[in-house]
Amino acid sequence: MLAIEVGSPVRKDPIVARPVVYSEEVVQAIAEVLKSGVLTAQHGRWVKAFESELASFLGVRHVLAVSNGTTALHTALKAVGVGPGDEVITTPFTFAASATAVLHANAVPIFADIDRETLNLDPASVEEKITDRTKAVVVVHLAGMPAEMDEFMKLAERYGVKIVEDTAQALGAEYRGRRVGSIGHISTFSFYATKHITSGEGGAVATDVAAYAERAKLIRAHGEVGKYNYELLGYNYRMTEMQGVLAYYQLKQWPEMQKRREAYVKVLLEELAPLEGDMLTVPRPRPYMKHSWHLVQILLAVEKLTKPRDYVVEALRAEGVGNVFVAYPVPLYKTPLFQRREGHGLGCPWSCPFYGRKVEYRPLPNAEWAAERVLSLLVMPNLTEQDAVDTAAAFKKVLTALRR
């Protein structure tokens, strides 16, 4: 009997995925920051130290730490020159920020379809959406799965568009032996609490292009050059020194944390094998890709189930799988923001006179297909191999009971 129907659960103590941040070393370092009174990056050393560690981790010249992944995207888009009248292509099967950052930059998001095998942007669909207004493509490495970077870089060359890698979910993933976030013109990261490394909130922009880094630096701090002299429209997107400490030690801890994620995923995939190809499939990286497993995305055979996908999620939770959720239940273009298109008010940027075109967001078949059947497991370094075994047991129990 399923736990959701009064049976007893697979796990009495539910699985909870959470970050592993605490150590005496970190507490000591934060205490010293607090004692010193130097709390902001302008005068401190931790944010700078983190930036230089991340630059060498990625193999890029410039890294700027910022307040979160959304401000990182806004900064990156503005740094490559995105503004009013421009179009930026991205995926609708992602977290809102990949597209709302385009709106913050006063440009129009255009959605292209995804590839059913990786759930990432399909380069052929992106190419179809390119117009004379396309300034950039926000390529998201969703769930830790690398996107087809070679194909996007070819499009960049052919059409003169900039490639912004949204690496929020994919720190440490690799594409043909290179870390993602080091391949496009500019890239962004998030250090939100569920990400590969976390500073609670936090983000970064990375690039090899000195001019983009210079512009990003101004955008991060009020556009100020010299004292109280403002060269351009900037913001306050800085990271604090306390966040700098966390991010620095998290990056040092990353190899160990990544090993634990991989051990959990390995057992999970082995244990789910009897269901694969029948009740579910798990998108796998192509041979030249290294997945970094922020999420395990699971595509359910919804047509074989007696209940909707959301019931499956509730049933798994009742069995004690606390780290299951849906990323993402609707393609972004179907949400009220993109349906109503009020934007900054009076319809901008969609109805901006500098744009002067009309966008219609038509359904994209692969994005709709994925959104209907996806279910996600958050992978965190506290999860154990036993958690993976129990999770697979819960899947077997629930999917067998709900099989048509």
Ligand X SMILES: Cc1ncc(COP(=O)(O)O)c(C=O)c1O
Say whether residue 44 binds ligand X (CB under 6 A): no
* Alpha helices per DSSP H over 39-163: 46-58, 69-79, 97-104, 123-129, 149-159
- In angstroms, what is the C-alpha Rg of the chain? 22
Which of 9, 19, 44, 69 contacts ligand X by CB under 6 A? Answer: 69
| Minimum CB–partner distance for residue 66 and ligand X (Å) | 9
- Single out the residue of 46, 57, 95, 235 in contact with ligand X (rule: CB under 6 A): 95
Alpha-carbon distance 283 to 293, whole Å?
A: 11
Stretch that binds ligand X, among 94-102, 105-113, 151-159, 215-223 (CB under 6 A): 94-102
Residue closest to 181 by CA, chosen among 163, 202, 199, 193: 163
CB of 118 to ligand X, least distance (A): 14
Question: Restricting to residues 123-162, which ones interact with ligand X according to CB under 6 A?
Answer: 140
| Helix then strand then coil, % of the chain, to nearest 5 | 40, 15, 45
The minimum distance between CB 160 and ligand X, in angstroms, equals 25
| Range 187-226, binding ligand X (CB under 6 A) | 190, 192, 203
Which among 68-76, 144-152, 222-230, 378-386 is the span making contact with ligand X, rule CB under 6 A? Answer: 68-76
Distance between CA 132 and CA 171 in Å, rounded?
32
DSSP 229: -
Instruction: Give residues 329-368 in contact with ligand X (rule: CB under 6 A).
Output: none
Q: Provide the 10 A C-beta neighbour count for residue 339.
A: 10
Of 88, 108, 168, 374, the one binding ligand X (CB under 6 A) is: 168
Residue showing the smallest CB distance to ligand X in the complex: 69
d(CA 136, CA 343): 20
Summarize as ranges the residues that interact with ligand X (CB under 6 A): 68-70, 94-95, 97-98, 140, 166, 168-169, 190, 192, 203
